[in-house]
Structure 1
Amino acid sequence: MKISDYHPFRSAEAKETYLAHYDARAKKWPIPSTEHYIDTSYGQTFVRVSGPDEGSPLVLLHGHSENGLNWLPNIQELSQQYRTYVVDIISDPGRSTYTKVMKGIDDYNYWLEELFDGLGLKQGINLAGLSYGGWLVSRYALRYPQRLHKICLIAPAGISPFPVKFIAFALFLSLFQFRSKLLFKQLTRWMFEDFIKTQSQGEEKFEDWFEFIYLGIQSHQAQPIVFAKVFKDAELQALKIPALFITGENEIIYSVPKTLNRLQKVAPDIQVTVVKNAGHDLPLAQPQQVNEAILDFLQVGT
């Protein structure tokens, strides 16, 4: 791979502009943190670490095309007892820099293995992921369960098939490579409707969040996405470590009733929490409820 001075951004100007916005946003991090760059065979991964030194590790993976700053509404409470490791996934816009394209889920699994080694996290890891990050968590848990303590899947991809409406909209946008800002904004408004409704100054907060995410998409040289394949029944049943599935009642990337019914039949040991007045935006729309669900789950048996 040819690496420019501004890689993985589209130009030197794009890199400077985006990282200036990123750093300005990072100043809103509500608690003390340290910044780390971990070298892996896939490139350098940025991790922000917070919480007590003696706390059990809780690693957080964001959704697709986002970065670790997406956990701003959640991080203070999650870091009271846990040593939190907030990762900028290496293939997404942020402060991580990929030098190798992720061609399949094995690449992501190996990358996480190297990342945990670099962080000195050998075992007993609590691993939580949102959306695409939730899919990465579940796939890693299938491959390397011995390193994990518990997993939290927050609005994860791959648990149920995407509805036709969502697929059609996403495919249409992909044909334009997200160059249609208006269409992309319509999709995100649809996905984040509860965030807008439930938060004080929801419209302003959505605009601020959207502009930052869109700037990242426009500035970053994205890798081809590794499609989040739906779990087979046998794969769900093979998840032997304690798992929590959190979904918003208004989720749009799958049917909530059908998904809950499937989990009850196929993998009844997976704990389920349904968050009211939330959809795919649940960590932003209902951060307190999401935090409580995660902390209650992690603290059982400890």
Structure 2
Amino acid sequence: MRISEFRNAPAEARFRAAYERTFASLWPGPKAALDIPTAFGTTRVYRTGPDHGEPLVLLPGSGGNALMWHRSVAALAERHPVIAVDTIGEPGASVQTAPLHDGRDAAAWLDELLTALHTPPAHLIGCSYGGWIAINHAIHHPGRVTGLTLLDPAGMANIGWRFYTWVIAGGLAGLAPRALRPRLARAVGNSTILETELMALMKATMGFRRRLPLAHTFTDDELRRLQTPTHVLLGARSALHDSPAVAARLGRLLPTAHVELIPDAGHALTTDQPDLVTARILDGWPSTPLQN
């Protein structure tokens, strides 16, 4: 398997410039940028928040980077050390040098990263593909983290044509004139289209060749191996999977997990419901019964 990389030097230069501009525009407050060496390449992380407390490690979805969390970072950092990760092999400031072949490799990369950061046991927060990596880590390195918060994670069911149509439609809508995007965002069910700065950065990623393993669907036996306290938010209108069916499956396999269906949200939870996502990370789940 080959590694993720830019098509050529000009494509990389265009992306790096757009990435720095977007970071300067969107990132709230101070941050420390760290480049952490691993066996799979150098991983960029951004640390913010206090020096004490349970760290929150933020893992973005496919095609994303630490900026995916820009709406939540300030509130999270008021209470916790926050480590926002540019996942190796995704378009960001990390540089991949060795391939990831499967979920075990993704888990090994993340474990190396957490070890090198010298932090107390952390809580992993993973969105989509980032959630898939977090689950793999909890399966292959049990007991290393305090908990998982998974936002519409990949790997819960086989990915069908509906999701790929959603991705393509969202990408095309993001290229439309700004005035048309609110209508298109409603039509395709993807609020990320309204993030003007992120859409500009997305255009700059067109010269990036992403070569990471597909998110395989976890078997029942794999999910039963999850011993880490787990919270799952599922967009009721998610194009990734049938969310009620996923909630039922998790309720059967992980009876101690807390699963919540978010009625007015699709797969893009961090932009569909950013305040709710932040509240769930910080305060946990309300005491009233939820769908699971």
Q: Displacement, 1:189? A: 5.0
1:152 aligned to which of 145, 149, 171? 149
Does the CA-based 8 Å contact 1:273-1:293 persist in structure 2?
A: no
Residue 9 of structure 2: aligned partner = 12
For residues 124-160 of structure 1, the C-alpha deviation after alignment (integer angstroms, 9 at most, x for no partner) is: 2111100000000001001112211011111100112
Preserved contact between residue 162 and residue 239 of structure 2 (Cα < 8 Å): no
Tell me the distance in 1 between the aligned counterparts of 2:203 and 2:56. 28
Q: Name the CA shift for 1:112/1:239 in 2 (closer, same or farther; >3 Å).
A: same
SS at match of 1:251: coil
The 1:170–1:195 alpha-carbon spacing in structure 2 relative to 1, beyond 3 Å, is closer
Structure 1 Cα separation of the partners of residues 197 and 22 of structure 2? 10
Residue 71 of structure 1 corresponds to which residue in structure 2? 69
Q: Which residue of 1 aligns with 2:29?
A: 31
State the distance in 1 between where 2:102 and 2:2 align. Answer: 21
Moved over 4 A (4+): 183-186, 188-192
Range with greater deviation from structure 2 (127-136 or 9-18): 9-18
Among 235, 255, 258, the alignment partner of 1:268 is 255
* In structure 2, C-alpha distance between the alignment counterparts of 1:145 and 1:290, rounded to whole Å: 25
Matched, 1:195 2:191: yes
- Which whole-Å CA distance do the structure 1 matches of 2:257 and 2:160 have between them? 23
Do the aligned partners of 1:59 and 1:127 also contact (CA within 8 Å) in 2? yes
Contact 1:49–1:84 at 8 Å: present in 2 too?
yes
How far the C-alpha of 1:276 sits from its partner, in A, is: 3.1
Instruction: Name the residue aligned to 2:103.
Output: 105
Please state if 1:52 is matched with 2:39.
Answer: no
Q: Distance in 2 between matches of 1:84 and 1:298?
A: 20
On the 8 A contact 2:35/2:44 being kept in 1, the answer is: yes
1:221 to 209, 234, 248: 209
Q: What is the alpha-carbon distance in structure 2 between the residues aligned to residue 252 and residue 12 of structure 1?
A: 35
In structure 2, what is the equivalent of residue 119 of structure 1? 117
Distance verdict in 2 for CA 1:190–1:143, change over 3 Å: farther
Q: CA RMSD in A?
A: 3.0
Q: Secondary structure at the match of 1:92?
A: coil
Q: CA deviation at 1:228?
A: 1.1
Q: Is the 8 A contact 1:275 1:289 kept in 2?
A: no
Q: Which residue of 2 is the match for residue 130 of structure 1?
A: 127
Which amino acid in the other structure matches residue 195 of structure 1? S
Deviation at 1:210, TM superposition (A): 2.6
- What's the CA shift string for 1:13-55, capped at 9, x where partnerless? 2122111111111112112110000011111100000110112
- 2:269 and 2:237 map into 1 onto residues whose CA distance is 9
Alignment length, in residue pairs? 279
Change over 3 Å in CA distance of 1:244–1:192 after alignment to 2: farther
- Whether contact under 8 Å (2:265, 2:273) holds in the other structure is yes
- Report the alpha carbon displacement of residue 236 of structure 1 after superposing the two structures with TM: 1.5
Would the aligned equivalents of 2:126 and 2:134 in 1 still touch at CA under 8 Å?
yes
User: In the TM superposition, what is the alpha-carbon distance from 1:275 to its structure 2 partner?
Assistant: 2.2
Alpha-carbon separation, structure 2, partners of 1:185 and 1:262: 37
**Deviation at 1:211?**
3.1
Give 1:232 shift.
1.4
Identify the match of residue 220 of structure 2 among 228, 233, 247.
Answer: 233
- Would you say the 8 A contact 1:275–1:290 is kept in 2? no
Q: Is the CA contact (8 Å cut-off) linking 2:166 and 2:239 kept in structure 1?
A: no
